Amino acid sequence: MRNKNHYTEDPTTILTGDIIEPSPAKRSLSLLLSSRSGSLMLQDAMLQAGNDHCRALLAQTAMEHAGALAVMAGRLNSIAPQGSQYYQAILAAYAEKAVEKVRRW
């Protein structure tokens, strides 16, 4: 022990107290995604989210267009009331097809 450093303290610390058992390992997302079934679940969730987004976008667009056509029909009705029945028929035809597309999606 000739080379012992006298300027440092003893690095060995004695710990006292209760022993705490480690908790069981939790499944992490990365562990789940590393498995084939986890990867398939993620792909399925992404497809469903994309599908839902497209369905909402289709419905939003259909409502915006139906609203714009209804406003236009109202304006045209005040300018040329003779075409009122045609404006309403065109609006109804558009709305029926839009509703069908949203339902089918």
Count the domains in the chain: 1
Q: Is residue 81 part of a domain?
A: yes
Give the model's pLDDT for residue 5: 59
Mean per-residue pLDDT, 8-12: 64
pLDDT at 16: 73
Residue 30 has pLDDT above 70, yes or no: no
What's the rounded Cα separation, in Å, for the pair 79 and 49? 45
Distance CA(67)–CA(69), nearest Å, equals 5
In a domain, 74, yes or no: yes
- Residue of higher predicted confidence among 38 and 91: 91
Q: Of the ranges 5-9, 60-64, 79-83, 93-97, which one carries the lowest mean pLDDT score?
A: 5-9
Write down how long the chain is.
105
* CA torsion through residues 79, 85, 86, 87, sign: positive
pLDDT at 72: 97
Q: Which domain holds residue 69?
A: 53-105
